[in-house]
């Protein structure tokens, strides 16, 4: 469980994190979504006690991070996969981490195995690909078998196999009842992994909602195709829908649900060859939430 | 705390720069001790009385430590700034948020390793040098006045420089800046302090670390420009106290 209350961080004159209040419960994947510079990484540094908040606070299991005894046994974090000394062997990197928190040395081999790095554990990290460094960063996050996991942009630089592996890992960690926070600027990736989304822009929390609700709120539309030329478009418009023609006798309908569209078609003897309800993509929802007008207003409030 | 010490030891021994820097220090001190002892032994007969009076069998063969102190300083600087340079420091402080303890563990490990290495090199250079001087019977023994203090003092001095480097590295957080400041302190401080001194006064110059090293390592010949061994020790301890306090102050107050 991670709780932030009015969390604020100012670097110089720039307010990177602006009065964030949220709580991240265990057992689900919470996504931290926002464009680059939205304040995701700054917030994570505040959670980990690396930076001190200018105002407000953030608690991990009810305590400030810096008050945790052996924090790696409670919280594991992947911040920047490249933040390792290139001259050090992978096993030694994990070994010193384990030693800081009195974690048994056998755990080093376990996490090397979990992340598929057993064969390269003796190699110096400087020769690793970004994907291998990403795996090493995840091994480091798992070293204390923590109940809270934080992954900052975990799929960056991974090949498709790696992306698939990490998605599965994140889902399974949450399924085990752990608290999982994943940040990303990739909306498609979030849609596949997160159950709940915190959407950030310019340091402010714009949305705190379940993924399903968020996608549903986007509305979506219905794609309809008829067998031949038909007056369906006019009929649906008369029925209150907005209709946009698409190639191949297709109609994109908003404002009427599929049942109603089917009824209208049946009543006029029009044969349908396709009737597909389409959910709004997260990308559309995201763009709407973070639209420039909203940001402009937010800015004005922020400087008032 | 034992876990933090173990971790700092693992960090220090698992990078190549540590053995490399110690190897450079070993070669420069021992080789230079032998070369200087041999050249003194072969030139002895041609020296006048003044040169003979100023010859110190320990001090005169320990010039290699002026080079080695750079290696030791760099070892201390890198033990800290390599973490900032690579970003490992964020993992360090996420794993151990009590930063004062991390600093204490790191300085303890750097200090212990360099003290052991410094003493080993000091004794090795001493015996190698005296062996080369023995042909002319110019050598001295550990039982002679000031000799044991000079050898132990030389090892202590290079360890001081290493801890100084680590503390400066903690304050500045950049390898280049910390190396420049440490080197400047070692080599330029006597010149700068002399410029500010009244004619013939040693009140300021005795506070230069390099001059303190001379005060620690003389045996037979004592230049009036050098401090006493006791004062030199005080100078070393003052530098350690001030820089370590500054490092702790910066580390606990700044964002990582």
Residue pLDDT, tens place only, B45-54: 999 999 999 9
Q: Which residues pair with A50 in a beta bridge?
A: none
DSSP A233-250: HHHHHHTT-EEEEETTTE
Q: Does A92 touch chain B (CB under 8 A)?
A: yes
Lowest mean pLDDT among A154-163, B106-115, B210-219: A154-163
Is-contact A254 A221, C-beta < 8 A?
Answer: yes
List of domains in chain A: 2-216 (3.40.50.300), 221-278 (3.30.70.100)
Q: With contact defined as beta carbons under 8 Å apart, do B186 and B73 qualify?
A: yes
Q: State residue B201's pLDDT score.
A: 84
Yes or no, beta carbons of A83 and B97 under 8 Å apart: no
Most B-contacting residue of A96, A123, A136 (CB-CB within 10 A), to test interface = A96
Which chain B residues are within 8 Å of A50, Cβ to Cβ?
A: 90, 93-94, 255-256
Dihedral pair phi/psi, residue A276, rounded to 5°: -120, 110
Secondary structure class of B91 (helix, strand, coil): helix
Alpha carbon A174 to chain centroid, angstroms: 13
By CA distance, what is A67's nearest residue in B?
A: B97
Is B95's CB within 8 Å of A50's CB?
Answer: no
pLDDT(A235) > 80: yes
Question: What pLDDT sits at residue A304?
Answer: 42
Flag whether pLDDT at A92 surpasses 90: yes
DSSP structure string for A35-48: -TTSSHHHHHHHHT
Asked if B87 and A84 come within 8 Å (Cβ–Cβ), the reply is: yes
More confident residue, B240 or B203: B240
CA angle, residues A194, A195, A200, in degrees to nearest 5: 65
Question: Mind listing the pLDDT tens digit for each residue in A107-156?
Answer: 999 999 999 999 999 999 999 998 899 999 999 999 999 999 999 999 88
- Record: contact A50-B256, CB cut-off 8 A: yes
Cite the DSSP H helix spans in chain B. Answer: 2-13, 17-43, 49-54, 64-86, 88-95, 99-134, 147-172, 175-187, 189-195, 209-217, 229-253
CA-based nearest residue in chain A for residue B79: A85
Pairwise CB contact (< 8 Å): B255 & A49: no
Contacts of B8 in chain A (CB under 8 A): 96
For the four alpha carbons of A221, A222, A223 and A228, in that order, the dihedral sign comes to negative
Chain B residue with Cα closest to A125: B15
CA of B167, closest CA in chain A: separation in Å? 20
pLDDT in tens, A248-296: 778 889 888 888 889 999 999 888 999 888 877 777 777 777 776 455 5
Please tell me the distance from the alpha carbon of residue A24 to that of residue A2, in angstroms, as a whole number. 5
Which of the residues A100, A103, A150 would you substitute to probe the B interface, choosing the one with the greatest number of B C-beta atoms within 10 Å?
Answer: A100
Contact flag B255-A71 (C-beta cutoff 8 Å): no
Min mean pLDDT across A101-115, A237-251, B152-166 is at: A237-251
Strand A196-201 relative to strand A29-33: parallel, antiparallel, unpaired?
Answer: parallel
Give the list of residues 6+ apart from residue A122 with CB closer than 8 angstroms, or none: A89, A90, A91
Quick check: A45 contacting B, CB < 8 Å?
Answer: yes
Average pLDDT of span A11-29: 94
Please list every residue in chain B whose beta carbon sits closer than 8 Å to the beta carbon of residue A75.
94
What is the rounded CA–CA span in Å between residue A87 and residue A197?
Answer: 38
Query: Which chain A residue shows the shortest CA-CA distance from B97?
Result: A66
The stretch B74-93 carries a mean pLDDT of 97
Taking Cα atoms as reference points, which of A242, A250, A248 lies closest to residue A275? A250
Summarize the confidence of residues A232-254 as an average pLDDT.
87
A50-64, B25-39, B124-138, B189-203, range with the lowest pLDDT: B189-203
Residue A138: other Cβ atoms inside 10 A: 25
For B214-234, what is the mean pLDDT? 94
Calculate how close chain B gets to A86, using CA atoms only, in Å: 8
Looking at residue A296, its pLDDT comes to 53
pLDDT at A73: 97
pLDDT for A285: 78
Q: Residue A138, by phi and psi: left (phi above 0), alpha (psi -120 to 50) or beta?
A: alpha
Mean pLDDT computed over A180-200: 90
B87: closest chain A residue by CA: A83
Distance separating alpha carbons of residues B252 and B243, to the nearest angstrom: 14
Order of strands, sheet of A2-11, starting from the edge strand that comes earlier in the sequence: A14-24, A2-11, A55-60
């Amino acid at each position: 469980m991670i709780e932030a209350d009015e969390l604020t961080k100012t670097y110089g004159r720039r307010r990177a994190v602006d009065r964030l209040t949220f709580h991240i419960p265990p057992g689900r994947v919470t996504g931290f979504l926002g464009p680059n510079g939205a304040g995701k990484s700054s917030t994570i540094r505040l959670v980990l006690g690396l930076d001190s908040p200018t105002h407000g606070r953030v608690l991990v299991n009810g305590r400030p991070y810096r008050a945790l005894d052996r924090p790696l046994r409670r919280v594991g974090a992947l911040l920047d996969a490249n933040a390792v000394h290139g001259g050090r062997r992978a096993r030694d990197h994990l070994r010193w981490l384990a030693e800081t928190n009195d974690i048994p040395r056998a755990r080093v081999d376990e996490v090397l195995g979990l992340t598929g790095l057993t064969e390269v554990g003796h190699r110096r990290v400087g020769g690793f690909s970004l994907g291998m460094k990403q795996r090493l960063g995840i091994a480091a996050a798992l070293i204390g078998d923590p109940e809270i996991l934080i992954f900052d942009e975990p799929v960056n630089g991974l090949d498709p196999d790696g992306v698939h592996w990490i998605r599965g890992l994140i889902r399974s960690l949450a399924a085990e009842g752990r608290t999982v926070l994943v940040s990303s600027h990739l909306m498609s990736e979030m849609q596949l992994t997160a159950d709940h989304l915190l959407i950030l822009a310019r340091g402010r929390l714009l949305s705190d909602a379940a993924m399903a609700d968020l996608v549903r709120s986007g509305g979506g539309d219905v794609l309809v195709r008829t067998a031949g030329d038909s007056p369906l478009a006019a009929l649906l418009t008369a029925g209150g829908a907005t209709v946009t023609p698409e190639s191949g006798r297709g109609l994109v309908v908003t404002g009427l649900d599929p049942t109603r569209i089917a009824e209208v078609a049946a009543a006029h003897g029009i044969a349908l060859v396709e009737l597909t309800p389409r959910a709004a993509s997260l990308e559309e929802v995201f763009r709407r939430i973070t639209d420039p007008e909203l940001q402009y207003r937010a800015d004005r409030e922020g400087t008032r | 705390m034992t876990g933090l010490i173990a971790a700092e030891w693992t960090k220090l021994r698992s990078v190549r720069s540590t053995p490399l820097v110690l190897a450079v220090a070993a070669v420069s001190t021992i080789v230079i001790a032998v070369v200087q002892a041999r050249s003194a032994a072969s030139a002895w007969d041609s020296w006048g009385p003044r040169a003979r009076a100023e010859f110190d069998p320990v001090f005169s063969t320990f010039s290699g430590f002026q080079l080695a102190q750079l290696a030791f300083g760099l070892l201390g600087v890198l033990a800290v700034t390599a973490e900032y340079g690579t970003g490992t420091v964020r993992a360090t402080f996420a794993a151990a948020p009590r930063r004062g303890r991390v600093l204490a563990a790191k300085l303890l490990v750097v200090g212990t390793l360099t003290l052991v290495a410094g003493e080993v090199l000091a004794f090795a250079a001493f015996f190698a040098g005296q062996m080369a001087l023995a042909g002319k019977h110019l050598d001295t023994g550990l039982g002679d006045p000031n000799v044991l203090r000079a050898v132990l003092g030389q090892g202590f001095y290079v360890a001081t420089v290493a801890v100084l480097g680590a503390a400066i590295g903690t304050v500045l957080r950049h390898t280049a800046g910390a190396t420049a400041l440490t080197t400047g302190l070692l080599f330029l401080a006597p010149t700068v302090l002399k410029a500010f001194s009244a004619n013939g006064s040693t009140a300021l110059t005795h506070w230069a670390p390099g001059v303190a090293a001379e005060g620690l390592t003389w045996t037979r010949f004592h230049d009036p420009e050098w401090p006493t061994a006791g004062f030199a020790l005080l100078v070393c301890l003052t530098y350690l106290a001030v820089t370590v306090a500054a490092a702790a102050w910066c580390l606990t107050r700044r964002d990582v």
